[in-house]
């Protein structure tokens, strides 16, 4: 089975989308890209995450051609493939319908730097892409434009898109953007949130570069 390791990982992380409250039902989708092979493993369309097996995960080329798998791939495969084509630093993409990120997408607002953990996105804000119908190339184009060099963007009236070098990091970005979105929305209800300054954000970038354990 092609990309067996990646397909098993997608099954595991698909369940996390539900248990971590990042989506409902069969909403959202996840993928992993193997640059050497030029192949993308992506979750199937419309199957309960707890029923998905590694064989259900579809392997595709970035032009949309199915390389291996009998299932229909996620309707948002354009969203994933265009990110991989635009970003050589990305090895995994996560799309969620988490509540507070979806609220931000409905407001069509950018998420400002109200908490230092926004640095996990690699940017000073999370922008909202222009609206386009789900499953279309236009949605993917708008998302890539809004994301830029960041690791996250909102999809207008839809949800959240995040990426990273691997699935663990991409999911971590999704979890943190959801939490900061919740913090921001609740802070706005209580008063006027205070955002971090440009200098404070630049200091954060230096701190995050050495955060965690040494890379081996």
The one-digit pLDDT tens for each residue of the chain (216 residues) are 999 999 999 999 999 999 999 999 999 999 999 999 999 999 999 999 999 999 999 999 999 999 999 999 999 999 999 999 999 999 999 999 999 999 999 999 999 999 999 999 999 999 999 999 999 999 999 999 999 999 999 999 999 999 999 999 999 999 999 999 999 999 999 999 999 999 999 888 766 665 656 554
How many independent structural domains does the chain possess? 1
- Of 76, 109, 125, 175, catalytic: 76
CATH of residue 45's domain is 3.40.225.10
**Residue ranges making up the domain that contains 139:** 4-209
User: Rounded to an integer, what distance in angstroms lies between the CA atom of residue 78 and that of residue 120?
Assistant: 25
| Domain-located, residue 216 | no
| Predicted model pTM | 0.94
Residue 151: the pLDDT is 98
Return the half-sphere exposure (C-beta side, CA atoms, 13 A cut-off) of residue 18.
15
| Domain-located, residue 146 | yes
| Domain-located, residue 79 | yes
| Domain-located, residue 138 | yes
76 is catalytic: yes
User: Are the CB atoms for 154 and 127 separated by under 8 Å?
Assistant: yes
Tokens of 130: 């222009």
User: Rounded to an integer, what distance in angstroms lies between the CA atom of residue 35 and that of residue 32?
Assistant: 10
| Domain-located, residue 96 | yes
| Domain-located, residue 214 | no
User: Rounded to an integer, what distance in angstroms lies between the CA atom of residue 216 and that of residue 78?
Assistant: 34
Residue 215: the pLDDT is 55
Residue 173's SS3 state is: helix
Q: Quickly tell me which residue has 């996560």 as its tokens.
A: 94
| Domain-located, residue 215 | no
């Amino acid at each position: 089975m092609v990309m067996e390791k990646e397909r098993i990982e997608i099954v595991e992380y698909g369940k996390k989308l539900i248990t971590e409250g990042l989506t409902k039902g069969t909403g959202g989708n996840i993928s992993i890209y193997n640059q050497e092979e030029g192949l993308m493993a992506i979750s199937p369309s419309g199957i309960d995450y707890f029923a998905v097996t590694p064989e259900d995960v579809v392997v595709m080329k970035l032009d949309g051609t199915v390389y291996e798998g009998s299932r229909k791939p996620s309707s948002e495969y354009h969203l994933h493939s265009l990110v991989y084509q635009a970003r050589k630093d990305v090895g995994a993409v996560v799309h969620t319908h988490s509540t507070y990120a979806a609220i931000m997408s409905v407001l069509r607002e950018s998420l400002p730097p109200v908490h230092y953990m926004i640095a996990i996105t690699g940017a000073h804000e999370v922008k909202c892409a222009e609206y386009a119908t789900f499953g279309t190339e236009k949605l993917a184009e708008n998302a890539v434009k809004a994301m830029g060099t960041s690791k996250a963007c909102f999809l207008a009236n839809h949800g959240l898109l995040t990426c990273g070098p691997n699935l663990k990091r991409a999911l971590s970005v999704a979890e943190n953007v959801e939490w900061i979105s919740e913090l921001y929305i609740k802070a706005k209800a209580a008063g006027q949130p205070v955002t971090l300054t440009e200098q404070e954000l630049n200091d954060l970038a230096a701190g995050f570069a050495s955060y965690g354990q040494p890379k081996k």
